[in-house]
Chains A and B, each alone.
Chain A
Amino acid sequence: MLARVLFFLLLLVPGIAGAHASLIATVPEDGAVLEQSPTAVRLDFNEPVEPVSLRVVDASGRLVAGPAGSVVHNATISLPLDAGLPRGSYVVSWRVVSADSHPVSGAFAFGVGVAPAVADAAADEPAVWKPILAAMTALTLAGLALSAGGALFLVLVGPFPRPFRPVAGGALLAVAAFAGGTLATGALLAGQDLSQIDGNAWRLGFATTRGDALLALAAASLLLLAGAARNNRLLLAVGGVGAPFALALTGHVATAEPRWLTVPALLVHLAGMVFWLGALLPLFRLLRQADAVIAVRRFSSLALFVVPLLMGSGVVIAAVQLGGIDALADSFYGSILMVKVGAAMALLLLAAWNRESLTPALERDGAVGAVRLRRSIQAEAIWAVLLLAATAVLMQTPPPRATAGGHHDHAAHEPASGWSVVATEGTRSAVITLDGDAIRVQVLGADQAPLAVKQVVLVFARPDLGIEGLERPAAAAGPGLFEWRPAKLSPAGRWDLRVEALVTDFEKAEFEAVIDIFPTNEQRRVP
């Protein structure tokens, strides 16, 4: 403290105008890949400076060294790293004060054992989230089966036995579980542990396609609740189809190519699942009463139509996601898929037995037949739980098509599926597009025509993590178009971006935007 006071008192001495420091070199260098952890981080300036903060942040945004503890020696500042750094990507963010009291700041990145800013933040994910996410997904599916499935049952098969009311409870369960899954997704992206969860996690999770899906699911659930309360078949039908549709807005399948095939297949599959599994509980309850025969018959004839669609759409989705028959045996995804298929086969066998043997038995001898049918449905329920669990795990697992070389990230070739924002400064604007693994900038003049700029530098900052300006130059990619590829920043999350475009030798235009950078197998949307 005293040192700093003395330092600044010097500014009052006449004749000393003070100097504005600049960084000459760093150890490790920006973008360096080191074999082992450095023992210290060093910054060399052209003048003596006073450190304000020097932080080292890891790939999940956790502070691993600093901000205090830096050592000054003439014009060099170093921060010792007593505990070595584990393998991963790191950002060093620094802020110093020069003799002219102007703060100077910046950031640079390096990696230990990996290239810095590896987009896949999976290496540092707290392990607790995967099972929580799977559980939330399973609960969402169960809630959907109860609510949307129950609604479709009411519309297509028959009324519920009183006082059975699965639709409202199921809808609330689905929305709550999906919201929980969204929060968990955000926490995973932010690299937060269970104890560290904060509003950031919700914001990040909501900013993915899950946010859209949650809103759609909530809307469909409202329709379902209204339909159930007023016994309105139209509302129930719309909600019953809309709720599975909401879930099709997010996830690996929804973005798989070709979209014209996968999205309808997913819709059919979800709707079919919801109808079939959602009918189990109402049928079970109805069989307690004497007049279940009509409902069972009607369900049976509908199932004859729904089940092939369900199986067919499942095969289509599996084929797209696996990318090849080898992946079935080779990958984790393939193994879980086989578990799911096994459970589906068991359900199919039980359903066939129901139709061929148990339903006629019900018609002949009501009481005994009902007991047998209920036992069969109980067995089906157990297999259904296994099936839902397997599905929930599948939905969290990157499919083989995404990790196979060449198929990685179709979004990179589909500008329409990218994300862009327009930032303005005065009469000029910059269209910033985040597209696969590139960030593109197109500067437009006052007339909205492309403005030929000489140079573009992207400056990234994370004020929430204390990361100051991390500069990355963009390369010319066409007339007036610049891109930075591969656009990899670590840690994943929401970054402040400043685009510095050199319009003429003497004029610089600066545009500011906020962008979300996620690991490549997550979806992004306009914030």
Chain B
Amino acid sequence: MRSILRAAAAASLLLASSSIAQAHAVLEQNQAVTGSYFTAVMNIGHGCEGTATLKVRIKIPDGVTGVKPMPKAGWQLETVTGKLDKPYTDHGKTITEGVTEIVWTGKLLDAHFDQFTMQVKLPDAAPGSMIFFPTVQECEKGAHRWIEIPAAGKTRSDYKEPAPFLRILAKP
């Protein structure tokens, strides 16, 4: 009897709050058409061990180009460029350097939720494949490294801190 009451209490608590944010860092929209321009929105719903997030760093995966981050009020925005792991050709020119990382520095309380946005051009990846955006969340106390990429035969739920993923869809 008591366990039912407890469950009911938990249920009402959950229903009362409009929605509980994901504790994982995930992309708001996690599917996109291959080769398209895509607005990647990273949801950060929790701090670390109850403390505020001070920095959000998103690594740009191989093949993703044309990265333009969206500035955020109250946050400093930094674009890190460097040598690309996979150089690509654009309008006949071989591009070897590009944006490798976007860093937002500021403060987001654990009780709050925020989104970090950037526009990217996706590579012509095979439909059904996954592109991962490893994200590091540095907080007042500790850090969350959402960087675990599932090995063959394993799924995201097998990992404690899986990397935010984007599923590639075929051209309509």
Contacts and interface: CB of A to CB of B under 8 A. Distances in A.
Contact of A17 (B21, B134, B145): B21
A508 B145 contact: yes
A2 B50 contact: no
Interface in A1-33: 2-4, 6-7, 10, 13, 15-22, 24
A505 interface: yes
Interface residues of A, number: 32
A288 interface: no
B73 interface: no
B15 A7 contact: no
A143 to B, nearest CB: 49
Given A10-B14, A72-B6, A99-B14, A16 B20 contact: yes
A507 interface: yes
A102 B136 contact: no
Given A505-B136, A505-B145, A506-B59, A20 B4 contact: no
Contacts of A120: none
B170 interface: no
A7 B147 contact: no
Contacts of B6: 3, 72
Given A10-B14, A13-B15, A19-B21, A2 B147 contact: no
A522 interface: no
B21 A48 contact: no
Interface residues of B, number: 32
Contacts of B96: none
B94 interface: no
B20 A2 contact: no
Contacts of B23: 19-22, 46-47, 98, 100
Nearest to A469: B160
B148 interface: yes
A508 B143 CA distance: 14
Contacts of A99: 14, 20
A328 interface: no
B122 to A, nearest CB: 19
Contact of B157 (A47, A102, A502): A102
Contacts of A15: 18-19
B7 interface: yes
B11 A6 contact: yes
Given A3-B3, A100-B23, 15 more contacts: A10-B11, A10-B14, A10-B15, A13-B15, A15-B18, A16-B20, A18-B20, A19-B21, A19-B22, A48-B10, A99-B14, A104-B160, A506-B101, A507-B134, A508-B148
